[in-house]
Amino acid sequence: MIYDFLNDLTGSPFIAGTITALLPLFAFILPFALFAVLLERKVAGHMQDRLGPMRVGYHGILQTVADIIKLIQKEDIIARNNDKLLFNIAPVLTFAGSYAAFAAIPFSSVFLGANIDLGIFYIIAVTGLVVAGILMAGWASNNKYSLLGAMRSAAQIISYEIPTILVVLSVVMLTGTMSLYDLSESQSSYFWNWYLLGGPEFEIQKFLLIPFMLIGFLIIYISTLAEVNRTPFDIPEAESELVSGYHTEYSGMKFAMFFLAEYANMFAVSAILVALFLGGYQSPFGYLGNLLNINWLIPLEQFFWFTFKGIFFVFVQMWLRWTLPRLRVDQLMAASWKYLIPIAFFNLLIIGIISIL
Amino acid sequence: MRAYFNNIFTALITIFVGMKVTLRHLFTPSVTIQYPDVKLPLPERERNRLYVNMDDCIGCDQCARACPVNCIEIETVKSLPGEDLGKTSNGKKKALWVTKFTIDFAKCCYCQLCVFPCPTECIYMTDVYEFSEYDRNNLIYDFATLTPQERQEKIENFRKFSEEKEKQKAKTDKSE
């Protein structure tokens, strides 16, 4: 683990801890957000037969850098009747919630903030902070639309957490571990060992599990999509009805923090999906490092595969955004309570029965 | 119950159909152009900003009279007998100094009515359509080629000339 390595290197737990804590932010989230915002705009452009940003740098690759510079320069506007304390805490809390999830996400077998035994449980619990941040932002803005957006967001995240947890539970039940590191390790080597394809044990159960794992995967994909407030579940932001929901009143860097939290969340849920169902950081075709006998290459390959899979699912989220229109509030609730939750529940029961066979 | 499973099935199928459509569009070439760098060809008879070729203008004021919104203003001064103003490209002799020829493009409605009456075809439409300004007064284009001093001079010359003529006329009247 990276913490132990740094602890040995520097001899100080404090320095090692600080570096380990900051590493995901600077080594991953910031570059990822820069990349993802550009990817989003490019994907949006090309799906609508446009080109997207083209001015800054070659084919607009520096567009997000320019945007960040613009956001830093912007005035930080706080309206007179805002609740100043909550207004200032909200973006930090929202970002902290989504950033804390990265502590337990295994990027590779050595790049893992903290190997917590309750990894997935911790992530689900800590992302609940995002709801508090969003509600705070909506309330403190003293704006009808912001509050409506925040309330919708809270309702949505809470109702969609249930199918997410039920699917996570079915995987946890099958494997008997909540640690994302152990989950990733158990799906080692080739892609037929992924839990999406029934897990690593080659028995009759594996083939019985495949359809239910696919159903579970679809459910968790849909419900995590709703949890990060992306289209078709973006009614908390809903540009055309609520201006932009809970971050209407924010400007400058505080707005940027919400934005960063959104993109960090997009990757975090994709990472959970990847770790649970798609082998985590494991390569689907074996390692080049094993083939060439270069040991230090393996963690790099693992990091590549993890980010590749994660960014692929982020791309699918964007793809869905430009495909599907926004749901109505009642449709949103119906989709969760009438469809996803019962199916996830039966799926959980069936996977449970298969696993004790 | 049947409707319930049907709903799920149609929802999934339609999502995948929609995703197929958007994926196809991801790889189709874009229909937009990079505007300031690339411009679409204009139609053959497009009507944009007017231009006046002052070498050919004889100051006949016909364009100003044809204009439905009165955006063209022309003032002319007669030339003195000894002055030679040259000829236009189609052989007409110029007889007037054009001391003012302004077109206010804020008023212009691009109807092209001024173009047809021109006897020397010196006023015509160009293909320039990007001439926005921050100040409306900057849209008043002055086409007269004489410098302000020259204009003043021409006006003054003509005034002196006509005064002298008046005097002479008065003299001859007296002598009679």
| Residue position matching structure tokens 């996400």 | A105
Taking the model in full, what pTM does it have? 0.80
In a domain, B64, yes or no: yes
Residue A47 with chain B: CB contacts under 8 Å: 22, 25-26
Residue B87 lies in a domain: yes
Backbone angles phi, psi at B93, to 5 degrees: -85, 135
Which DSSP string corresponds to A61-99?
TTHHHHHHHHHHHS-----TTS-HHHHHHHHHHHHHHHH
Q: Which domain covers residue B86, as residue numbers?
A: 50-149
Q: In sequence order, which residues have a C-beta less than 8 Å from that of residue A300 and are 6 or more positions away? A: A108, A289
Mind listing the pLDDT tens digit for each residue in B121-132? 888 888 888 888
Interior CA angle at A131 toward A130 and A134, to 5°? 85
Write out the two tokens for A265: 């969340």
Residue B54, strand partner residues: none
What was the ipTM of the complex prediction?
0.78
- Domain count for chain A: 1
Question: Which of A40, A41, A47, A315 has the highest number of chain B CBs within 10 A, making it the mutation to test binding with B?
Answer: A47
Average pLDDT over residues B93-116: 87
Q: What is the CATH number of the domain that holds B101?
A: 3.30.70.3270
Verify whether the Cβ–Cβ distance B30 to A54 is below 8 Å: no
In chain B, helix, strand, coil percent, each to 5?
A: 35, 15, 50
How many structural domains compose chain B?
Answer: 1
- The predicted structure's pLDDT at residue B176: 65
In a domain, B81, yes or no: yes
Do A319 and B19 lie within an 8 Å CB cutoff?
yes
- Greater confidence (B109 vs A197) lies with B109
Give the integer Cα–Cα distance in Å for A1 and A17: 12
- Tokens representing residue A15 in the block: 């320095």
- CA–CA gap between residue A300 and residue A296 (Å, rounded): 7
| Residue pLDDT tens, chain A, 357 long | 677 777 777 777 777 778 777 777 777 888 888 888 888 888 888 888 888 888 887 888 888 888 888 888 888 888 888 888 888 888 888 888 888 888 888 888 777 777 788 888 888 888 888 888 888 888 888 888 888 888 888 888 888 888 999 998 888 888 888 888 888 888 777 777 787 777 777 777 778 888 888 888 889 998 888 888 887 888 777 777 777 778 888 888 888 888 888 888 888 888 888 888 888 788 787 777 777 777 778 888 888 888 888 889 989 988 888 888 888 888 888 888 888 899 999 999 998 888 887
CA distance A4 to A6: 5
Does B1 map to a domain?
no
Measured from the Cβ of residue B126, the count of other Cβ atoms closer than 10 Å reads: 11
Nearest residue in chain B measured CA to CA from A338: B4
Question: Is there a domain that residue B96 lies in?
Answer: yes
Gap between the Cα atoms of A184 and A195, Å rounded: 10
- Residue A351 tokens, joined: 């996977």
Confidence of residue B85 (pLDDT cuts 50, 70, 90): confident
B161 within domain boundaries = no
pLDDT given at position B13: 92
- Residues B14-54 have pLDDT tens digits of 989 998 988 888 888 888 888 888 888 888 888 888 888 88
Tell me how close the Cα of B10 comes to any Cα of chain A, in angstroms.
Answer: 13
- Residue in this structure with the two tokens 């799920």, named with its chain if needed: B8
Question: Which residues span the domain enclosing A218?
Answer: 2-356
Residue B162 within a domain? no
Contacts of B31 in chain A (CB under 8 A): 49-50
State the Cα angle at A73 between A68 and A77, rounded to 5°: 110
Closest CB from A45, A324, A343 relative to B18: A324
pLDDT for B134 equals 92
Q: Do B18 and A323 touch (CB under 8 A)?
A: yes
Which one of B19, B23, B26 would you mutate to disrupt binding with A, by most A Cβ within 10 Å of its Cβ?
B26
CA-CA distance, A39 to A59, in Å (whole number)?
12
